[in-house]
Amino acid sequence: MQSTEDRLTDEELMGRLCAAADRETADRIFGQVFERYHGRVVSWCYRIAKNREASRDLAQEVFIKAYRHRDAFRGEARLSTWLYAIARNHCLTAIRKPDADALRFDSAALLSLREDGMAPDRAAEQNELTARMLRLMARILEPIEVRVMTLHYAHEVPLAAITRDLDLRNPSGAKAHIVNARRKLMGLLKRGGWNNCAIGPGFRAVPMRRVG
Query: DSSP 3-state assignment of 57?
Result: helix
pTM: 0.50
Domains of the chain, with CATH numbers? 5-95 (1.10.1740.10), 100-210 (no CATH)
CA distance 9 to 18: 14
Percent of the chain surpassing pLDDT 90: 25
* Most confident stretch, 7-11, 95-99, 104-108: 7-11
Residue 153 has pLDDT above 80, yes or no: no
Least confident of 27-31, 77-81, 150-154: 150-154
Q: What is the average pLDDT across 28-36? A: 91
Residue 53 has pLDDT above 80, yes or no: yes
Nearest alpha carbon to residue 34 among 62, 71, 68? 62
Between these two residues, 28 and 194, which has the higher pLDDT value? 28
* CB within 8 Å of 45: residues ≥ 6 apart: 54, 55, 56, 58, 59, 62, 87, 91
Residue 13 has pLDDT above 90, yes or no: yes
